[in-house]
Structure 1
Amino acid sequence: MKKHLRKVTFGLIGSLLLTSNIYGAEKGVVNTNILNVRSGPGTHFSVTSQLRRGQEVEVIDSSNEWLKVNLNNQEVFLHSDFVSIIEVPVQEESIVQLQRQAIVDTDILNVRSTPSVNGTRITQLRRGEKLGVVSQSGEWYLVTGPNNIEGFVHGDFIRFAEDKTVLSEQNQVKELIAVVDVNVLNVRQEPNTNSSIIGKTYRFNQLKVVRVLEEWVEIVQTDGRTGYVSKDFTTIREIESFENVDRIRQEVVDYARQFLGNPYSWGGNSLTDGIDCSGFTQQILGRFGFNISRTSRTQINDGVRINRNELLPGDLVFYGNNNSISHVALFIGNGQIIHASNRRTGIIISNIDYGTPYIGAARIIN
């Protein structure tokens, strides 16, 4: 008997498709007055019972002229000449597509192109980021996330919104701050460039956010007055507790470690194909929303200067000769740094006093 194979395709989000091969079920209807039911596929097998015209059976398989059928939960055989085959349509409504919410429940979560650890890594998500769950494939879930990403994540590393803890986290109103990304930023009375300038704010100042518009951010100035700054020149963040800051520091370090062994390239900007010391620190911190300048000499001014005995994971450490900075690294704790060192070694972990003289340190994560 020929199997009737149907391919049901689920239209998902964007260009991703999930397909499932489903066999149409078949039943047989007796088309003769009396039909012998036999224990095997042949007339030499014993007759176990008889069926009458119009009785229905579930067809399992075929062998030459004989049908294997399910009759009263037993596998028996009928001659195919006396059974009419009817295909039962697949009940597509029985295929469930999930429409749920979840959050990332691990420090760094890989999003892959297929539901397998062998799938290409599309991007990575941080703990607490919100996901839309579309469908399930074994232990993997097709999800959508920030910036319209879509791909598969393993179910062990997400929590569903039905979890009371998740619902509580999602229902909290988060306070926002705007961190100034340019040296000097005008504060205006209204959200347009024709409005009067009522103040100025400076790089790394953190301003309480009243509301975020499409191109402008309404903020509270240090004197308590409200005003508007251009959204293009700020980074919007949630106000973090001290515990969350410590968690972010560790996430920064964990993220940086993923690129150990990758090549060094002066002026390069690829964490995988080649990057230099300041490009490395810029991109690692930028992944977490901390925007800093491109060179080691300027990065020391992008944060708050700190003493060596104040270093915490995620801080920047600077090196050079005669107080002229020529190298920057990321402090990872326990007296160690991770850095894009040189062409010979690439991205490595070293002791803080690895060779080039220490000049100073700066804190970006604050």
Structure 2
Amino acid sequence: MGMRKAIRQVCVTALFVALGTVTALAADAGQASGTNVNVRAEASTGANVLGKINKGTEYTILDKTSGWFKISYNGSNGFVSDDYFEVTKADATIDGSSVNCREKASTSANSLGKFADGDYVCVTGQNDSWYRISYKGGSAYVSKDYVDGDYVKYTAKIANETAAEAKKSVYGVVTADGGLKLRKEASMNSVVLTVLPKGTEVNVDRVGQEWIRVITDGGQKGYVSAEFLSVREGVRTTRSTGSGNGAAVVAYGKQFIGTPYVWGGTNLKTGVDCSGFVYSVYKNFGITLNRNSAAMASNGVEVSKSNLQAGDLVFFNSGGNSSISHVGIYCGDGTYVHSTDGKAYGVTVTSLSSSYSANTYVTARRVLR
């Protein structure tokens, strides 16, 4: 056993005794990585073979020398080449204060609790940046930056997929009746960027115990109180259809920027009017809308300007009367893509805060549910 590990075990054991608890460090353990792996009397390929071991049976690890694990085998000591042996349990301690223990191997995953400096953990696996640990009868994850142990680096590799999946599948729903303030920083004194209405869904970027960092569908990043955001996993209830979502609709529509304006046109390559553009883009996703902008305003459900999401339809009164005469597709970031016969001419992207847009804006509808 290494000197540092021996000292750590003595100190931790003494602490548990002093506290009057029965908690103890679990022994470091491992198993063969294959079948019929030799156990030798010495750390040498020329040493006598004491027996053979197979994957699935754990053995206590006593020490690690260059290229070999020393294990407890049939009441005596044996040596196994580290090429054919993997660590399944490794004693370790936390090096840092208030270290998050997460549900998945991602900084955006739920925090199950926090460890204090020196807390004991049992590592059972690893990927590029995270150690998997035993936690309350199951598994959890801690960043490698905060874990110290003699054998942790030898633990088995696990699939490095949880970080991407967690970020992709975790979202939040606003539960506050009066809406939820999106703040620039994780503080009640921070600047309020906007207020998210009840029911708004946002992408979850990072989860803390009091604050959650989120990204709106418009791309705005900020912090909300964890108390009023329900964090969920799975497919979002809005902006999803069998063939696409809001972001996909916008990306498809933007491919045709520059297509000329043609009154009555529906050909995205040769010419479209405003409603013809929107109609043809959505038709690509299997959604049939009413053909002209005024009639199109009856499709879907009404949505407030403050709650716009990518893919929503935005309507304008460009004729100076009370009727709707123009339509576009909201892109996020306060812009929309549309076909215009005005100064920009053809399919283009315009800011909703431009003088024309602000003065003629009427309503918005959500057709992706």
Normalising by the residue count of structure 2, what TM-score does the alignment of the two structures yield? 0.32
Greater RCO, 1 or 2 (C-alpha within 8 Å, sep 6+):
2
**Relative to total residues, which structure has the larger strand share, 1 or 2?**
1
Greater Rg over alpha carbons, structure: 1
Normalising by the residue count of structure 1, what TM-score does the alignment of the two structures yield? 0.32
